[in-house]
Amino acid sequence: MTPAGIISAIIIGAIIGVLGRLLVRGKQNISILVTIIVGIVAALLGTWLAGLVGVQTTDGIDWIELLFQVVLAAIGVAIVAGSGRRR
C-alpha cells in the first residue's frame, strides 16, 4: 500500500467514523482515534459487503456501499462506546 493509499484510508475512515457516530444516540465517550479506527474497519467491511451483494461498482456515487459503511460504523461506535461504559 502506498503512502497516498494510507492517507486516503485514514481520511475516508475519519469521515465514515464521524458519520457513524452521528447516527448513534447519546454521548459516546470515545476518542477521535478510536472513531477513525472504527471508520476504517467499517469502510473496509462495507466495501467487502457491497462486493458480496454485487453493488460495489456502479455509475456515479456508490450510495449503497456508503450506506453499508456508515451503518457498520454506527454499529461499531455503539459497541465500542457501550463496552467502555461497562468497565
pLDDT digits (tens, 9 = 90+) for 25-81: 888 889 999 999 999 999 999 989 988 988 877 778 888 889 999 999 999 999 998
Separation CA 42–CA 59 (nearest Å): 22
Which residue in the block uniquely carries the three cell numbers 460495489?
56
- Amino acid identity of 7? I
Residue extents of the structural domains in the chain:
21-82
Is residue 72 within 8 A of residue 53, CB to CB? The reply is no
pTM for this model (two decimals)? 0.85
